[in-house]
Amino acid sequence: MEVVQIQRTLMDYTKSLFMEGLLDSQFLQLQQLQDESNPDFVVEVVSLFFDDSEKLLNELTIALDQPSVDFKKVDSYVHQLKGSSSSIGAQRVKNACVAFRNFCQVQNIEGCLTCLQQVKQEYYLVKNKLETLFRLEQQIVTSGGSIPMIEMGF
């Protein structure tokens, strides 16, 4: 496939992630921080987010499986996940965390369990989409092209 074609595919794919609400403008902020001296910044930060999130989701699963649930602990994990998802622009993960925290605050175990499933779903979805996006970028770079910048007005 020609570089121009892959660049077009990447642009359309990235735009679709914004249109579907998976990513918000904070992701563009990250892209703007990437330059020749920090060419892998976005991948590095998003990888940190993946590692951090998987640990937190694991901790949440364990915490909600206890005979006596420590809602304060659960809330602190969700707060962390909300913070990092918001920082990288993973909008739907962040929104799912907001709903989750509401159930933590009223100590509703069923609500929390449902929200955990929802957060996991949104997380794995955005993870999958971002991995595809990075693969497309890599194809462009390998073919000698440059990664096009997304414009805000779409």
Partner 1 sequence: MAAQGRQGGRKSNKMTALVVDDNMVNRAIHHRLLDNLGIESEAVGNGKEAVDIHCSGRTFDLILMDMDMPIMNGIEATRKLREMGIRSTIAGVSTRSVEHEIREFIEAGLDDYQEKPLTMTKLISIIHKVKG
Residue 79 binds to partner 1 (criterion: CB under 8 A): yes
96 and 77 in contact (C-beta within 8 Å)? no
Q: What angle do CA 30, 26, 44 make, to 5 degrees?
A: 35
Pick one of 52, 73, 114, 127: the residue that binds partner 1 (CB under 8 A).
52
Pairwise CA distance, residues 15 & 55, whole Å? 29
The residue (of 7 and 46) whose beta carbon lies closer to partner 1 is 46
Distance of CA 48 to the CA centre of its chain: 11
Report the Cα 129 to chain-centroid distance in Å.
9
Q: Pick the binder of partner 1 from 26, 31, 118, 139 (CB under 8 A).
A: 26
Residue from 23, 30, 133, 140 in contact with partner 1 (CB under 8 A): 30
In the bound complex, what is the minimum distance in angstroms from residue 7's beta carbon to partner 1? 25
Q: Does 91 engage in binding with partner 1 (CB under 8 A)?
A: no
The angle, 0 to 180 degrees and rounded to 10, between the axes of the packed helices 109-142 and 41-64 is 160
**7 or 75: CB nearest partner 1:** 75
Q: Considering Cα of 59, then 62, then 65, then 70, what sign does the dihedral take? A: negative
- Cα 146 to chain centroid distance, Å, stands at 24
Residue 32 interacts with partner 1 (CB under 8 A)? Answer: yes
What is the nearest approach in angstroms of partner 1 to the Cβ of residue 6?
Answer: 27
Task: Please choose, out of 11-19, 40-48, 125-133, 138-146, the segment that lies near partner 1 by the rule CB under 8 A.
Answer: 40-48
Residues lying near partner 1 in the complex (CB under 8 A) are found at 26, 29-30, 32-33, 38, 41, 44-45, 48-49, 52, 79-80, 82-84, 86-89
